Amino acid sequence: MAIFADTYVQDGFSVRIAETLKATAERMIQNHQYRTTVRELSALTSRDLADLGINASNIRQVAHDCAYGTKN
In this predicted model, what pLDDT tens digit does every residue of 25-62 receive, in sequence order?
999 999 999 999 999 999 999 999 999 999 999 999 99
Model confidence at 68, in pLDDT bands (50, 70, 90)?
very high
Close Cβ partners of 48 (under 8 Å, ≥ 6 residues apart): none
The Cβ of residue 54 has, within 10 Å, a number of other Cβ atoms equal to: 16
Is the CB of residue 20 less than 8 Å from the CB of residue 49? no
**Residue 14 pLDDT:** 85
- Return d(Cα 29, Cα 23) in angstroms, integer: 10
The domain spans of the chain are 2-68
In order, the DSSP letters of 41-54 are HHTS-HHHHHHHT-
Q: Which pTM was predicted?
A: 0.75
Per the document, the length of the chain is 72
